[in-house]
Amino acid sequence: MATMQDVANLAGVSLSTVSYTLTGKRPVSAATRARIEAAMAELGFRRHAAARALAARRTHVLALAYPTYGVALGATLNDIVRGAVEAARESGYELVLWPVDSTEPEVLRELAGQRTADGVLLMEVALDDPRIEAVESVGVPCAMIGRTQDPGDRVWVDIDFEDALTQAVEHLWGLGHRSIAFLNRSQAQLDTHYGPAVRARDAYVAAMTEHGLDPLTVACDVTPPAGRRVGTELLASHRDLTALIVMNELALFGVASALREADLQVPRDFSVLAVAIAEDISQMYDRPLSFLAAPGPDQGRLAVRGLLDLIEGRTTTGGTNLRCALHPQSTTGPVPVP
């Protein structure tokens, strides 16, 4: 493994000059730079990350705590990851994933404490997330995707569920639907006041009320069989229903089965609109799904930018809510004529 000293020798310059061509922190003449670059290419030189990190007191690595349990569909998380990776690279940082679940903050404390990353991104943040304290306790900056009950002046990026559900109700209202139900996340999430579930429900109720409609919310476990069960019950007990808003990735697939079994053709007899799902997931559905796209890549990107502001001592943006874009496709249509 060639070192910077080898490069310097071959190029006939001093070690520090090589360093400066690499970091750009001091000017280097074009001629010298060319010689150095030639030498680096010839030797196949690569900076030794540990040495760099030690000397510069910066690893140029950002870590994203990546849950490995209970992640049935990778697409949603991966959208975020891709946005984050991109933003990090643009700023000369690498993003790595730490496979750590929310239940093991100690692992996070250990990892962060060794200073293997300059900052940590937390995804799927719970209302009272012990990981934040763990990371901050060892003096490492962190940013969250989602947000805690009281984020203070921390950096966070969340989805604008209020806007998303307003858009959803309005889209269906515009198509003539007057009986629109909302299939939410699990009761357990509601019971613990999990932000997305609560905020989406409240926004849905508000939007319905505003249009003079009766809201109808059902909680549903995050699995296809649960979606099928809940969907079937819902269709049986509310025969006047013509549209369903679903904010539950996995239940969505069960809902499709329930509709088929109830002999309802989509969108002729019934409309389905998914909220806050990744585009990849919409493509797994029977037919082109009408959906409000979760801003996954942007969430990742913005969270990284905010984290870098924190790391590099710039003033931070605080929190941001990101809108979901409506993609009306083939599962929403005009209300059926009776």
Among 12, 99, 174, 318, binds a copy of itself (CB under 8 A): 99
Alpha-carbon distance of 100 to 48, in angstroms, equals 26
What span, in angstroms and rounded, lies between the C-alpha atoms of 317 and 131?
A: 21
CA-nearest of 94, 64, 68, 118 to 299 is 64
3-state secondary structure of 255: helix
Chain-centroid distance, C-alpha 119: 17
28 binds, among a copy of itself, DNA, none (CB under 5 to 8 A by kind): DNA
- The residue among 246, 276, 273 whose CA lies nearest residue 75 is 276
Instruction: Work out which of 38, 54, 71, 72 binds DNA, going by CB under 7 A.
Output: 54
CB of 119 to a copy of itself, least distance (A): 15
Instruction: Fill in the per-residue mask, 15 to 34: x = in contact with DNA (CB under 7 A), - = not in contact.
Output: xxx-xx-xx-xxxxx-xxx-
Residue 131 makes contact with a copy of itself by CB under 8 A? no
Q: Is the peptide bond before 99 cis (omega within 30 degrees of 0)?
A: no
Task: Calculate Rg over the CA atoms of the chain.
Answer: 25
Give the nearest distance from C-beta 10 to DNA in angstroms.
12
CB of 220 to a copy of itself, least distance (A): 14
What is the identity of the amino acid at 39?
A: A
Encoding tokens for residue 82? Answer: 């891709």
Kindly identify the residues of this chain, within the stretch 44-83, that bind a copy of itself according to CB under 8 A.
Answer: 46-51, 53-54, 59, 61, 63, 66, 68-69, 71-75, 77-78, 81-82
Instruction: Return the number of the residue (90 or 261) whose C-beta is nearest a copy of itself.
Output: 261
Q: Is 12 in the site for DNA (CB under 7 A)?
A: yes
Nearest distance from C-beta of residue 45 to DNA, angstroms: 7
| DSSP one-letter code for 320 | E
Residue closer to a copy of itself by CB (options 207, 256) is: 256
Min CB(16)–DNA separation in Å: 3
Residue 269 tokens, joined: 């007899």
List b or e across 281-297, with b for residues whose CB sees 16 or more CB atoms inside 10 angstroms. bbeebeeebbbbbbbbb
Instruction: Quote the CA–CA distance of 55 and 57 in Å, as a whole number.
Output: 6
Main-chain phi, psi angles of 217, to 5 degrees: -110, 135
Task: Figure out which of the listed residues 90, 106, 110, 214 binds a copy of itself, where binding follows CB under 8 A.
Answer: 110
**Which of helix, strand or coil describes residue 325?**
strand
Q: Give which of DNA, a copy of itself, none residue 19 binds (C-beta under 5 to 8 Å, depending on kind).
A: DNA
Q: Which does 224 bind (CB under 5 to 8 A by kind): a copy of itself, DNA, none?
A: a copy of itself
Whose tokens are 């819902």? That residue is: 234
Least separation in angstroms between residue 226's CB and DNA is 49
Q: What does the alpha-carbon distance between residue 197 and residue 222 come to, in Å, rounded to a whole number?
A: 12
**Window 55 to 94, contacts with DNA (CB under 7 A):** 55-58
**Among 9, 37, 43, 47, contact with DNA (rule: CB under 7 A):** 47
User: Of DNA, a copy of itself, none, which one sits near residue 282, judging by CB under 5 to 8 A according to partner kind?
Assistant: none
CA 103 to centroid of chain Cα atoms: 19
Binding site for DNA (CB under 7 A): 1, 3-5, 12-17, 19-20, 22-23, 25-29, 31-33, 45-48, 51-52, 54-58
